[in-house]
Amino acid sequence: MNSVSPSAAQYLGGGLQDEGLASHPDGYRAPARDPRGHFGYGSGSDGGREAAEEPDEVDRLKAKLMSAWNNMKYGWSVKSKTSFNKTTPLTLLGHSYLLNHEDEVERFSRTFVSRLWLTYRREFQQLEGSTWTTDCGWGCMLRSGQMLLAQGLLLHLLPPGWAWLDGQQLTDVEFEILKPRSPSRSSGVSLPAFPSSRPTPRGRGGTAEVSKRAPVWRCSSETSQDRQAEAMHRRVVCWFGDHPSAPFGVHQLVELGKSSGKKAGDWYGPSIVAHILRKAVDKTSELPNLTVYVAQDCTVYKEDVMRRCDCSQSEGSSQSGSGWKSVIVLVPVRLGGESLNPSYIDCVKNILRLDCCIGIIGGKPKHSLFFIGFQDDQLLYLDPHYCQSVVDVTQNNFPLESFHCHSPRKMSFSRMDPSCTIGFYAKSQKDFESLCIMVSTALSSSKEKYPIFTFVEGRGQDYGLEGQSGVMPEQDAHIQPRGKAGGGKRCSVDEFVFL
């Protein structure tokens, strides 16, 4: 468990990345600079450690220092509370909330807290072929990818509108009337606290503030359906546990990344992670009715999706009858050159308004985040950079608190790194057909002449990344609007540096 209460201080520590570090150009893996962070905590490729060995006391000390450093830096980003505007809608994964009434605040709170929050962990079993016992400092994009997949699994396996019964209300947030064009600052005008049968503490200047010790939402009349949903919720969390047998845990994801030239301690980009997630779902036997499709060259080939979803045509399928697998569609894109093209902001907003959207993995430069919504000109996100102790998910009734976040955070669209992967989920063939129509409509809202990506009939070429360890495997996924090829430095979809 955490050394601090998850409900009160989940964001007291963390890992804001050094903004001054330059991104790597395409194909450059920075061999000259030791990728071991500020304290020299090394990756599995450290010069004298090609073979796996037991971590010594110095390694353990360095790991603790790295964790403490990340958590201290993470705390710097959350000294002030997150302010939400009472007068404009807030969008969270396809649902809209107007936070001018307590019922709406509680509905938003339940939805946000119920998302799975997967962060850095320390003191887990050593990763094979390395001395790593933590992903602190390098695994944030893997964690963001886990959260994206987890959201798809919650939609796939749990009833519509499911919410965690033991979830607590939000902490460290304020609901205010905010100035137009400046959603991060208060206008100095505040609304009274929402009427409630329980007392609500007051923030600075009389601003309504959510209690830090709010009761959980569990109802006294828990049904058998609720218990079944909670059992499935716990099972999904187990699949992301930090041990080698977890199908979507960091051990398995790192192992699957080796065929793409990645290893423990390397930096992962949003496109690489999309392919790793596809391989993980293909490999596991836990989800026979789900498949993952990764778009090729910013194009979703409908026939390829159909072939993956048609049980009678799936590779290795022994089924002779007809049937349809649910599908998670992942689309690696680049929304600009070295920074986000503002013309794409409305398009991203419209995508996040769709209930088939399961989020976006990307971040700000050198800092991976999982985007799940927006309000005004700010993105709502979950941040994986808080380093927590490993939880043994093989034990009965293991604690769930550290897998859920109670402190929402926002950042300006202008700070968003252009490299990202967008996720969608379709439960049935009819849902996929609707998805194609709705997403195409959202894409047409871009002010650019050409959309971020497209849906086309037919099939594409094989998009496997095996055997490309010598070059950056993200090059084919690079986005540059047709007709706007620039003469400057070409950016890679994986152009992230995580320290």
Buried b (16+ CB within 10 A) or exposed e, 197-214: eeebeebeeebbbbebeb
Catalytic residue among 383, 405, 406, 491: 383
The overall longest dimension of the chain from CA atoms, in Å, is 67
Q: Which helix (H) or strand (E) holds 192?
A: none
Catalytic residue among 136, 140, 309, 357: 140
Q: Which stretches of 59-137 are assigned E, i.e. beta strand?
A: 82-85, 90-92, 95-97, 121-122
Catalytic residue among 367, 385, 406, 478: 385
Tell me, rounded to whole angstroms, the distance of Cα 479 from its chain centroid.
Answer: 21
Amino acid at site 92: L
**What are the φ/ψ torsions at residue 364 (nearest 5 degrees)?**
-105, 165
Q: Which stretches of 210-353 are assigned E, i.e. beta strand?
A: 290-294, 299-301, 326-334
- The CA distance from 125 to 240, in Å, is 14
Catalytic site includes residue 383: yes
Angle (CA) 298-302-304 rounded to 5° is 90
- CA atoms within 13 Å, Cβ hemisphere of 317: 20
Question: Rounded to 5, what percent of the chain is helix, strand, coil?
Answer: 30, 15, 55
Positive/negative CA dihedral, 9, 397, 163, 161: positive
C-alpha distances out from residue 20 to 67, 329, 498, Å: 20, 34, 12
3 state SS of 453: coil
Catalytic site includes residue 140: yes
Catalytic site includes residue 38: no
- The CA distance from 155 to 289, in Å, is 13
Residues forming beta bridges with residue 370, ordered by sequence position = 361, 382
User: Which residues belong to the active site?
Assistant: 140, 383, 385
